Amino acid sequence: MSFNNYNIGLEKNRANFVPLTPISFLERTAQIFPNYTSIISENNKFTWKSTFARCRLFASSLKKRNIKKGDTVSIIAPNTSAMYEAHFAIPMAGATINTINIRLDPKTISFILSHSDSKIIFVDTEFIPVVKKAFKIGNHKIPIIFIDDSESFSKNIDGGQSYEDFLNEGNLEDFVNCANIIDDEWSPISLSYTSGTTGNPKGVVTHHRGAYLNSISNYLIWKMKKNPVYLWTLPMFHCNGWCFPWTMSVLAGVNICLRKINAKKIFNSIKKYDVTNLCGTTVIINMLIEEGIKLNKKVEFMTGAAPPPASVLEKIEKQGFNITHTYGLTEVYGPAVVCEWQNDWSNKKTDKIAELKSRQGVRCPGVSDLQVINKKTNKPVKKNGKELGEVYIRGNTVMMGYYKDKESTKNSFKDGWFHTGDIGVVFDSGYIQLKDRSKDIIISGGENISTIEIENTLFQHEEIIDAAVVGIKDAKWGEAPCAFVTLKKNSSLTEEEVIKFCKSNMAKFKIPKKIIFGDIEKTSTGKIQKFLLRKRANQE
């Protein structure tokens, strides 16, 4: 009965239990490294002391506007200092940050503002015109605070209050000890809307505890040293920049913010600021490969979204980027699975290393369990790299649920797992590899065809820089593969030649029946919009 003694006098109290929140990272770093550079944008440079002060003023001004716990505060801006500050200041005020995709149309923005119950919105001057159209559509009456980050768009200002004037309304003394601001770590910290490719977007709600844990997980799974220099090529509006705004604060690093990116800007920034880390999808990787510049020193590159083909990984690594491959979703705070490096891989050939790195890998520290489940048997798939199943995730870095959508939340958490909708296999090493979204698998004559597998083969052709495969209706087989292909400049590759290449590199039933050349539709976060491609493929 001695165990019962552990129930006597050992309760939680203010001395031994404090709710986890990534806001505490900012306060600690500002105290220890006050004069270290925090942010370098195209027009400004800040220290951690000044960033902490600006975030406190921001939070105080929100408080004076009666923004409180349970309120949503929206922001639409590119990667700027204001966007970075919002990731701390809005939750510091007890509210939930809603970062809106800068490439959305007015109708979708209007839907998000209404659905999220936004109380106020911060808008970069570049996006004032689209936001004003959104306001007319929804007859929104909430205050707009404009962020004048670039003189190029100052002409868009038409009344209203500036971000800097808004900060000046705040009082630093309102937020002195940030460690005690959040009284419940289950409180929502962020509301992020998914792409909404086939309907209205869903609002993913995440909490302080998960954000704290995933921020720490980020540097545990990646080669991030103390005081890293991080180049913002990944949009902060996407899944809160995979939690890296908070990760960078705990590491007292330097955030290099670019309003717009291209290959030249990326390479120039790497050289100018001695960048150590950056994130991006295959879109960014292909952009860098096409520029063809080789680095003088290694730069760590974390990628996600669709799995980069082994041939693409091999090319980018030869330029000096060390790739860490991850997989995740907005619903799991960003990276949830990582291709952890194994020491014996160093002895393998370059092409084999690239093949191994193209796998998604194993669960991140914040994830309690990861399974690939055969939907027919409801059991884990065999570790043979062949049997297909859906990826299930469970842990503290899984969302609270979908905002104002009980039914979708219930369905996504069926049987105590988060159902990702992604289809994959498991190898004997325990590493998983994605094969497709469940809705993108092509069933041709009873055979399951992975579109990703065909895409990886197409990427091996030296004249192909981008590829996407979808299913098209077929009178004989029900469905058949159709490939969309983007070629290198001045390439004269024909459909016949592409199909001939496929015949030499894949099973007959997987060979695309049709090749469509041109640019491939993608979302602003690099995801291929296959529902649009399917529509095009079946019309052409």
Q: What are the chain's domains?
A: 23-215 (3.40.50.12780), 281-437 (3.40.50.12780), 442-539 (3.30.300.30)
The yes-or-no verdict on residue 409 having pLDDT over 70 is yes
Beta partners for residue 338, in sequence order: 326, 362
Residue 196 has pLDDT above 80, yes or no: no
Closest residue by Cα to residue 28 from 52, 59, 56: 52
The 10s digit of each residue's pLDDT in 313-368 is 888 999 999 999 999 999 999 999 999 999 999 999 888 888 888 889 999 999 99
Rounded to an integer, what distance in angstroms lies between the CA atom of residue 68 and that of residue 93? 6
pLDDT in tens, 108-154: 899 999 999 999 999 999 999 999 999 999 999 999 999 999 889 99
Residue 375 CB neighbours (<10 A): 13
**Cβ proximity of 426 and 383 under 8 Å:** yes
Contact 217, 59 (CB under 8 A): no
In this structure, what token pair is assigned to residue 24?
Answer: 């505490």
C-alpha 338, offset from chain centre? 14
Residue 338 CB burial class (10 angstroms; 0-12, 13-18, ≥19)? buried
User: Helix, strand, coil % (nearest 5) of the chain?
Assistant: 35, 25, 35
* Confidence (pLDDT) at 2: 57
Contact yes or no for 540/516 (Cβ under 8 A): yes
Asked if the model's pLDDT at residue 225 lies above 80, the reply is yes
| AA letter at 128 | I
> Is pLDDT above 90 for 436?
no
- The dihedrals phi and psi of 2, each to the nearest 5 degrees, come to -60, -25
Q: Determine how many CB atoms are found less than 10 A away from the CB of residue 316.
A: 21
Longest dimension (CA), the chain: 81
- The Cα 80–Cα 82 span in angstroms is 5
β-strands 334-338, 321-329: how paired?
antiparallel
The pLDDT tens digits for 201-224 are 899 999 999 999 999 999 999 989
Is 70 exceeded by the pLDDT of residue 263? yes
> pTM value?
0.85
3-state secondary structure of 105: coil
Report the alpha-carbon distance of residue 456 to residue 459 in Å, rounded: 5
Residue 486 β-bridge partners: 466
Looking at residue 312, its pLDDT comes to 82
| Spatial distance between the Cα atoms of 427 and 448, rounded to a whole number of angstroms | 18
- What tokens appear for 408 in the block? 């979708």
The strand order across the sheet containing 254-257 reads 45-47, 37-40, 254-257, 229-232, 277-280, 299-303, 321-329, 334-338, 362-363
Burial class (CB in 10 A: 0-12, 13-18, 19+), 4: exposed
User: What distances in angstroms separate CA 417 from CA 259, 413, 478, one per listed residue?
Assistant: 38, 5, 32
Answer yes or no: are the C-beta atoms of 300 and 223 closer than 8 Å: yes
- Distance between CA atoms of residues 494 and 89, nearest Å: 54
Q: Which amino acid is at 87?
A: H
In this prediction, residues 442-461 reach a mean pLDDT of: 79
Task: Identify the three-state secondary structure at position 289.
Answer: helix
The CA distance from 62 to 162, in Å, is 14
C-alpha distances (whole Å) from 474 to each of 78, 478, 526 are: 43, 5, 29
Phi-psi region of 2 (alpha: psi -120 to 50; beta: other; left: phi over 0): alpha
Q: How many CB atoms lie within 10 A of CB 2?
A: 5
Q: What pLDDT shows up at residue 444? A: 78
Q: Please tell me the distance from the alpha carbon of residue 299 to that of residue 278, in angstroms, as a whole number.
A: 8
Average pLDDT over residues 99-107: 91
pLDDT at 283: 77
Segment among 187-196, 267-276, 299-308, 410-419 with least mean pLDDT: 299-308
Categorize the per-residue pLDDT at 282 as very low, low, confident or very high, splitting at 50, 70 and 90: confident
Which token pair is 163?
Answer: 């971000």
Tokens 């995440």 map to which residue? Answer: 206
* Cβ contact 465:487 at 8 Å: yes
Looking at residue 447, its pLDDT comes to: 64
Helix segments in 346-405, DSSP class H = 350-357
β pairing state of 96-99 and 72-76: parallel
Confidence class for position 250, pLDDT limits 50, 70, 90: very high
CA nearest to 252, candidates 20, 48, 44, 23? 48
Percent of the chain with pLDDT over 90: 69
Amino acid 448: pLDDT: 66
- Look at residue 180 and tell me whether its pLDDT is greater than 90: no
Average pLDDT of every residue of the chain? 91
